[in-house]
Amino acid sequence: MMKLAALQMRSVGGDPAANLARIEWAASEAAGKGATLLVTPELGITGYGAGEAIAVLAEPADGPIVRELQRISRQAGIAIIAGFAEREGSAVYNSAVHVDGDAHPTVYRKSHLYGDYERSLFTPSEPTTRLFEHRGVTCGMLICYDVEFPENVRRLALAGADAVIVPTALPAGWSGTFITEHMIQTRAFENQVFVAYINHCGSDALFSFAGLSRVASPDGQVLARANSADETLIFAEIDPKAFAISRADNAYLEDLRRISPDCSL
Write out the catalytic residue numbers: 42, 110, 144
Contacts of 75 by beta carbon, 8 Å cutoff, 6+ apart: none
